[in-house]
Amino acid sequence: MFNKSSLKFLENLMNCSGPSGFELETAKLYREYLGGFADKVYTDVMGNTVGVINPEAEFKVMLAGHYDEIGFQAVYISDEGLIYFRANGGIDKLTIPGTEVEILTPAGRIPGIIGKKPIHLTKEKDRGTAVELEDAWIDIGAETKEEAAKIVAIGDPIAVRSNFKFMGKNRIMSKGMDDKIGAFVIAEALRELSKRKISIGVYAVGTVQEELGLRGATTSAFGISPNVGIAVDVGFSTDLPDINKKTLGEIKLGNGPELNRSADNNIVLVDKMMKLAAKHKIPYQLTCGHRASGGTDTATIQLSRGGVAAALISVPNRYMHTPVEICDLRDAENAVKIIVETVASLKSGDTFIPGID
């Protein structure tokens, strides 16, 4: 299903840098790609990018994958020319020291590394513990505050250095896999749906600021007012040592995307997706998620206006919220297939009322 053009888009998307609230580079690429097959493409005031098929249709399906990524923001420049920063999203502090980063400035990406006091100079009781962000800094090679200030401004967004690569035949590694892999999936689903004769409206939305509280999905869902919403995000792969399958279930890379059964997911819609997957022999894995509700764009789409029949598809992910997240392209491809078959089966008048439909 993923042709050379799709895989090149995937690589370019992963190599984009767009911390939450600063997704300009990613949005531009997304607009250009969706423009190749959507009837209409636009980016709204929040930075969400929307590709539409059949924009005049009354019955609407919203597909959502957030293309923002966790990162940092410059807050202070020291006399030594070091950049102090704050987190922008849920940072795993254990992975911070030694990380290569890029400060996103109007003049381009400024390379830097996150440094800290050497272990030799650290008290023994503090060794092996997470470094507080106020005790770390970014070194860009500047020798003075004045030199650094000519390059970097307070408030500049900071991203982990782009590092996309294949790991074997089917698996890919990148910073920001959460959730640019989801944004990729819905773009590919829209591309496939553009080849089919469908009468309903389909809105594929690359959402912003998910890592800061589902903000982009909140506004885009309100604006679109969909009848059905399907979000694609990453989920926890549990095929690693010391991950408790008793609380998270058994989820393996390459065994199919996760269909979620939690309060955020409409019972009728999820049942329909499961039946269609079985009919078309598309592999999937069932999960309850790691919480009863919340945490993804699905939650805010479901509660938009008078309520939306919502569902979450998760692409299994290893090492979430680190610079080296890993997913399997087979799971992404099968997520596309489930979305396409589900959307293609919908018709105007479907209501998805639990216990009645």
How far apart CA 155 and CA 84 sit, in angstroms, is: 11
Of 62, 63, 66, 75, nearest to 48 (Cα)? 66
DSSP state of 255: S
Sequence-separated (6 or more) residues with CB below 8 Å from residue 126: none
User: Partners of 83 in the beta sheet?
Assistant: 77, 138
How far apart CA 119 and CA 137 sit, in angstroms, is: 15
197 half-sphere exposure, CB direction, 13 A CA radius: 0
80 in active site = no
How many other C-beta atoms lie within 10 A of the C-beta of residue 157? 22
Task: Choose, from 210, 258, 325, 341, the residue flagged as catalytic.
Answer: 210
| CA distances to 10, 47, 269 from 205, in Å | 16, 10, 19
H or E element, residue 180: helix 177-193
| CA distances to 65, 74, 194, 271, 275 from 40, in Å | 18, 36, 12, 31, 31
**Cβ contact 2:10 at 8 Å:** yes
Q: What is the sign of the dihedral through the CA atoms of 295, 296, 301 and 302?
A: negative
Q: Which two tokens stand for residue 308?
A: 């939306």
101-140 burial code (b ≥16 CB/10 A, e <16): bbbbeeeebbebebbeeeeeeeeeeeeeeebebeebbbbb
Q: What amino acid positions are annotated as catalytic residues?
A: 210
